[in-house]
Structure formats: structure tokens, C-alpha cells
Amino acid sequence: MPAKSAFTVEEEIDIQNRFQDLLHKCTFVTEEADRIMIRKAFDVANAAHYGMRRKSGEPYMVHPIAVAEIVAFEVGLGTTSITSALLHDVVEDTDYTIEMIRRNFNDKVAYIVDGLTKISDLFDKNTSLQAENFKKMLLTISDDVRVILIKIADRLHNMRTLESLTPAQQIKIASETIYLYAPLAHRLGLYAIKQELEDLSLKYRHPKIYNELVAKIADTEAERCELINRFIDPIRRELEAHHYDFTISGRPKSVYSVYYKMQHKGIPFEEIYDLLAVRIVFQPSDATPEKNQCWDIYSLITNIYTPKYERIRDWVTTPKSNGYEALHVTVMGPGGKWVEVQIRTRRMDEVAEKGFAAHWRYKSLNGLPNEAELDRWLNRIREMLGENNGNAIEFVDDFKVNLLSSEIQVFTPKGQIKILPQKATALDFAYEIHSEVGNTALAAKINHKLMPLNTELHSGDQVEIITSGQKQYQREWLQQVVTPKARNQIKQALSADVGDRIELGRQMLTDRLTALRLKPSSRIIKKLIPAYHVSNKEELYGNIGSGEVSLENLQQVLQKSAPNKFIRYWKLQTVSGQPEADTTVNGAATDRPAPVFRTARCCNPIPGDDVIGYRTPDNEIVIHKTRCPSATHLAANYGNRIVPVRWVSTKILSSLIRLSLRGIDRIGIYHQITGVISEGFNINIRNVHLISHDGIFEGHIDMYIHAASDLESLIESLKTLKGVEEVKRVDIRNGEADADTSMPPSV
């Protein structure tokens, strides 16, 4: 609950002025009854929150007013949503109840506020309260999408004011945002909000990278403005000559989109060719369809500039699943720079900025998008909620994969369209048709070619499933599907055959432990669950009973409890600002036992990397790189267990890392590369895998590095070698390195 202290007269006046400004700007609220309801919501919230302050020290009521402004002007919702936004924290933070909201307002406002109110019940310590909250919210969104739109507005204002929180809270909220809320805003068509959420998340998760990119973008601003003006001038003249009513503007890519492209393509800032984008927004005439007019403007532009045909994106003929419509073309502009041009009507532009909220405004117009796509999406949420087995973390992960990711359109043999998430397989398609088709599937014909069931599908594929008269399902299929519908139907089929498997597995484990002179206990089971990659003890017993899990290595698994040898040579310190802030790996005095630190195998952080810690229920702190996807997932679902940590001091020890290299082949290049590593930096090389073909060399070198600073210096030195075009650090996948990836350096 927010802290309380009396307001000053100036603060009370400021609150009233902020609300009056909100009400004054709501020119679309014309009915007096609606304005009275908004005023009443403010009075109730202001009285309920009186004396409460945010972490920044400002009156708490500033927040609901700001959320209501976002809801009204950035999302584009009406009276009921503005009222609900003003009241959204009243039930959670005060003695006000949902029933009181219902009596003072109406059922709809009460329903929305209830959906926005966090869960206050106590859950099992291993349950993610964040995931439970999100699942509860989605139970409401499936009936009224305004719940999630207001929640996104709430999150946007929280992100705009995140500087007042501790580093641990910033990481938690920023990770939640990039993991769920930014993709959700994108899925609902709120592009401007999605972009701001991404940028703010980057600012707090990777502040150093964010500030560097902001500076680089600012440094190129003058050159960029000059280029955009040169690029726009001939297009403007051509559009004016054809009597279009239009606006044209240039803009840089968002900071996050630049960062994303650098990470996923492994390129530096200077090599991002489409940093520039120009947007044309026009008012179409009634005489010609909008789509035709977009293509007419495309034709005028390509008469001036040469297009890059593989970069044409036609979302006017086939809009995105979230309703986005536009025609994108990338053309070669002045100075040899590629420039992306987005062509939209004003209606398309409003839909692009305000998503489905804008669709409602146009739904009655013939031939224009309506709520059918939104209804389909909400039906899929209801379907997922109905199929979920109660595991909130699994539900949130399924939701992200299946309902926030890009979609593909796949055709049946008769030409019917089936919508599936990206990376869906032919087996997902089979279960999308019917559970019996999935259970009896043998193979698939994809575009008339026989393919295995685990083949990944792509948009436009035509798929026919070949079945048999017998059940074919097997537990391995769970790894070959991505949709919750397919996964749940496979699980149901497998559970029908389970019989005494759980009891058999329980007895087998007991017998094996007895042979090791151990008694079954909750402590042992807790150790075995993560070791055998299962989520609970029933799954563990079932897998043992089915033979999926072998107990031959049980003794080794139970003995594998020591922290990483690597961590024993390094000192880490938590920096959360909590009472344990002085906790270090080598046992400084604290109010609680010193935690055990270990590095995560998924990202293998080395000293000097930006890292965060995840505290397990057993007080073990697992160290992840801040860029690690697993760290983002943990912070998004278990934010209260995230512990900011820092490297404090080191002893001589090296960690295995991999450098990927690419360049122009020449005589002696390999010798020079290994010479810089071994002789120039005295680094121990573990193995070299470089190959040459058609004048190009590429591959990787594994080596032992002391710290991230050494690695950065080495990379810069390698880049200075003639012919070396690209050097970057890449993760070593599990299984490619020895069990212990750290070792003392060679003498």
C-alpha cells in the first residue's frame, strides 16, 4: 500500500487542476450524465487515496489521472474506460470494495475495475504472483478488452515514472513490460505505446546500452534531417501535383528497434541501413478504393526512387492480424541510403496508433475492418483459459508464444484457412483440425510433398495430414508442438493410458533410494524435480514409471549440489538495498545465511558482464547476464526474487567463451588471428574451427577469458586485422562445453 502523509494546499490544488485539465480535454464526452460520472469517479478516488503518496513523493492521485489521460487520448477510449481508469487502484489500495463500485457506478465499471485489481490471496511460495495476476486479468479481458487496454495505460505511466523505484523493482517491472506488455500492446495494434514501452524497458534493463544508442542517434540527427528533407522534397512535389491531401514526415527508428536489430543480426550501429523511415498519411477520395490509392502513391514514389522489391510489405491487401494496414516500401534514397516509406490513409493511421479501440469507431462503415479479428483473438484466449491446467507460469508462456507472436495462415486441402502461431508444426495443424486427426497422424503432405509431422510450417503452406486407424501419439510429441491446444490434447491422450505409472515410479524411486541408504523426503524431491526437468513430483514419478527417466545416475544427481568452481574464485555482492546488501560469496556477516552463488548455464556470464541474480527458494542465487532471455522470463514472472548483483573482486581464473569470426580469406590470416589471441593477449585457446570457401573464411574459436574487459580489448584488436570483417561473442550451447567451463589459466 502507498505511504501516507498529509497533502499541502498546493498539492491539493495541483490535483484539482490536473483533473480539470483532463475533463476539459475530453471534448468527445458531450453528454452531461457522462461528465457527471467522470467527476464522481474522481471525487471517490481522490477521497479514497487522500494522503497516499507514490515512491516519488508526489500525491498518489496523480497516477490515476495520468492513466485516465492515456486511456482517453493515447488509446482513444470513452467514458466507461476513463471512469474505470480513475478508480483502477481504489479497491486494491483502500477499503473500497467492488460492491461499492457497483452501487455507486454500474456493473460494467465494477467488472472492469475488478479485472484490474491484483490478486491479494496468498499462493504457494513456488507460485508466481505476477503470472497469477496476469491470468486473472485475462479471465476478464476475454469478456471486455477494455480491461487490458486500461492495464497497458497503467503500465505505460508506471514505466514513465520508474526512476523513483529501486534497481530491483526497475528490473522486475521493465522485464515484465518487455516480456508481456509491449508484445500485448503490439498485438492490440497500439504501435506508439508499444514502441515507448520497449524503449523505456531498454532504458532500465540496459541503461548503458540505451544511453550509448541515444547518443549515437542524436549525433547523426543533423545528417539524418538533411537527408530526409532531400528525400521528401520530390515526393511532396509529386503528391501536390496530383492533388493529394496529405502529410509527410520523417522519423528515425526507435532506440529499441535499433538495439533489437543489432542483437539479432549481430551488426554494429553503423551497419543498420534502414535507420530512416518516412510516413505518408493521406485523406482518400470517395471515388476510388483506399487500397488502389495507396498503390497509386507507391507508383509515384517508385517513379522517383528505385525500390527494393524484397522489402515491399503489402498490409493493405491483407492487413495484419491486429488490424494494422499500410503499404511499406524500401527505396534507394540520396547518398546511397535505403529509406523505408510507409503509406497510410488517415483511418489506417488512427488504427495504427490506437489499435482495436480505433476499429470500434469504424466498424459500421461498409467494407472497412470490424471486430471480427478481435473476436477471433478473444475466442482463442477463452480457449486457452479453458484448456489450461491451472499452472499460471505455463499459461503465461503459452499466451506469449501463441497469442502475442506473429501468426501464419495455413490452408487445408480444400482451401480453408487455419491461423497458427509462428513456428507451428504440421502436428499443431493436425490437432487444430481435430483431436482424432492429431492422435492418429502419421505424416503430412506440405505443398503436396511428403514431410514428417515435426516440420515447421510457413504462411501460405497447404497441408494434408495422413492418418492411420490406430493411435500414434507419444510423449515426444509434446516437444514437437507449440500450441496449447495440441499440447493439452496430447497430454489428455497420454493421461488416459497412465494407469499405475505414477505409483510404479514412486515405488521405483523409493527402492533406488533405499539401495543408497536414503529415505524419500521433500528435500530430495526438490532436488530431483529441476534435475530431471519436470514441474512437480507426479510428473517425476510418471516419467520414472514410463522409463523416460532413468535412475542409474541418481547418486550423481543428488551429490551435484556444490556451487560452481568458477564462483569460488570470484566475489559477488548483492546491491538491492535490502538488509542483506552486504551479502558476499565468501561469507560476510548478514541477517540471513550467506547465499550460494552459481552462474547460469544458459548464458555463461563471465566477470565484468552486466548480470542480475535470481534467488531460488533454497536461498541459492543464480547469476544470469542481463541480456539473457531466461533472466527476462524469470524477472517477468518472479520479480520479487530478482537480486541485483555486481562483481566485486577476482582471483586468477578463466571462463570458456566463444568468438565467431568472419572475413576475407588471405594467406596467413589464421596465423595472425591465433597470434593476437595467444601471443598478444596470452589467452589459452581451447579449439579453433575456421573454414574457408569462395574467398571468405568463417567459424569460431573457443578460448579461456579472465574478464569481460579482456574480451572487449581482444575483439577490438582482432577487428583491426586486415580482412577480418566481423568478430562477436556468441553463447556456447549446452552440451558443447565440458561440465565445468572454467579452469585456471595455463602456466
Q: Is the pLDDT of residue 744 over 90?
A: no
Q: Is the pLDDT of residue 371 over 60?
A: no
> Which of the listed residues 559, 583, 604 is the one where a domain comes to its end?
559
Q: Is the pLDDT of residue 135 over 90?
A: no
Quick check: is 245 in a domain?
yes
Q: Which of 93, 383, 665, 698 is catalytic?
A: 93
Least confident range of 24-28, 169-173, 190-194, 271-275: 271-275
Q: Is the pLDDT of residue 391 over 70?
A: no
Active site residue 92: yes
Quick check: is 369 in a domain?
no
Note the pLDDT tens digit of each residue in 242-297: 999 999 988 777 899 888 888 877 777 877 766 678 999 999 988 888 999 999 99
Q: Is the pLDDT of residue 554 over 90?
A: no
313 vs 389: which has the higher pLDDT = 313
Q: Which of 11, 14, 92, 726 is catalytic?
A: 92
Quick check: is 447 in a domain?
yes
Same domain? For 26 and 52 the reply is yes
What's the pLDDT at 592?
52
Note the pLDDT tens digit of each residue in 327-363: 999 999 887 888 889 999 998 888 877 766 555 555 4
Q: Is the pLDDT of residue 93 over 80?
A: yes
What's the pLDDT at 382?
65
Nearest Cα to Cα of residue 199 among 174, 224, 225: 174
333 vs 565: which has the higher pLDDT = 333
Same domain? For 239 and 286 the reply is yes
State mean pLDDT over 15-37. 91
Q: pLDDT band for 367, please (50, 70, 90 cuts).
A: very low
Same domain? For 147 and 99 the reply is yes
Rounded Cα distance, 115 and 85, in Å: 12
Active site residue 694: no
Least confident range of 77-81, 562-566, 585-589: 585-589
Quick check: is 375 in a domain?
no
Q: Is the pLDDT of residue 594 over 50?
A: yes
Same domain? For 164 and 246 the reply is no
DSSP state of 70: I
Q: Is the pLDDT of residue 368 over 70?
A: no
Rounded Cα distance, 682 and 53, in Å: 56
What's the pLDDT at 245?
93
Q: Is the pLDDT of residue 202 over 90?
A: yes
Nearest Cα to Cα of residue 181 among 146, 160, 154: 154
What's the pLDDT at 738?
38
What's the pLDDT at 141?
62
Same domain? For 683 and 639 the reply is no
Quick check: is 382 in a domain?
no
Note the pLDDT tens digit of each residue in 296-327: 999 999 999 999 888 888 988 878 766 788 99
Same domain? For 121 and 169 the reply is yes
What's the pLDDT at 645?
82
**What CATH number did the domain enclosing 301 receive?**
3.30.460.10
Amino acid at 639: G
Axis crossing angle, helix 290-304 with helix 221-241, rounded to the nearest 10: 120
Same domain? For 338 and 444 the reply is no
**What CATH number did the domain enclosing 429 receive?**
3.10.20.30
Same domain? For 490 and 529 the reply is no
State mean pLDDT over 408-437. 87
What's the pLDDT at 588?
36
Q: Is the pLDDT of residue 126 over 80?
A: no
Amino acid at 730: V
Same domain? For 640 and 659 the reply is no
Q: Is the pLDDT of residue 561 over 60?
A: no
> Which of the listed residues 336, 362, 388 is the one where a domain comes to its end?
362
| Structural domain containing residue 33 | 3-187
Quick check: is 437 in a domain?
yes
Same domain? For 34 and 173 the reply is yes
Q: Is the pLDDT of residue 653 over 80?
A: no
Same domain? For 155 and 109 the reply is yes
Burial per residue of 215-249, b for 16 or more beta-carbon CB atoms within 10 angstroms, e otherwise: eebeebeeebeebbeebbeebeeebeeeebebebe
What's the pLDDT at 742?
36
pLDDT, the chain, mean = 80
User: What is the SS3 string spanning 571-631?
Assistant: EEEECCCCCCCCCECCCCCCCCCCCEEEECCCCCCCCCCCEEEEECCCCEEEEEECCCHHH
235 vs 694: which has the higher pLDDT = 235
> Which of the listed residues 362, 393, 424 is the one where a domain comes to its end?
362
Least confident range of 181-190, 407-416, 463-472, 556-565: 556-565
Quick check: is 730 in a domain?
yes
Note the pLDDT tens digit of each residue in 482-502: 887 888 888 878 776 665 577
Q: What angle do CA 309, 314, 320 make, to 5 degrees?
A: 140
What's the pLDDT at 478?
85
Rounded Cα distance, 593 and 618, in Å: 11
Please tell me the total number of residues recorded for the chain in this structure: 747
Q: What's the predicted TM-score (pTM) here?
A: 0.67
Q: Is the pLDDT of residue 735 over 70?
A: no
How many domains would you assign to the chain?
6
Q: Do residues 287 and 243 touch, judged by C-beta distance below 8 A?
A: no
604 vs 177: which has the higher pLDDT = 177
Same domain? For 64 and 176 the reply is yes
What's the pLDDT at 192?
86
Note the pLDDT tens digit of each residue in 521-530: 887 888 888 7
DSSP letter string, 509-567:
HHHHHHHTT----HHHHHHHHHHTT-SSHHHHHHHHHHTSS--TTHHHHHH--SPPHHH
Quick check: is 29 in a domain?
yes
Note the pLDDT tens digit of each residue in 27-72: 888 899 999 999 999 999 999 999 898 988 899 999 999 999 999 9
Q: Is the pLDDT of residue 165 over 80?
A: yes
**What CATH number did the domain enclosing 664 receive?**
3.30.70.260
Q: Is the pLDDT of residue 572 over 60?
A: no
What's the pLDDT at 376?
63
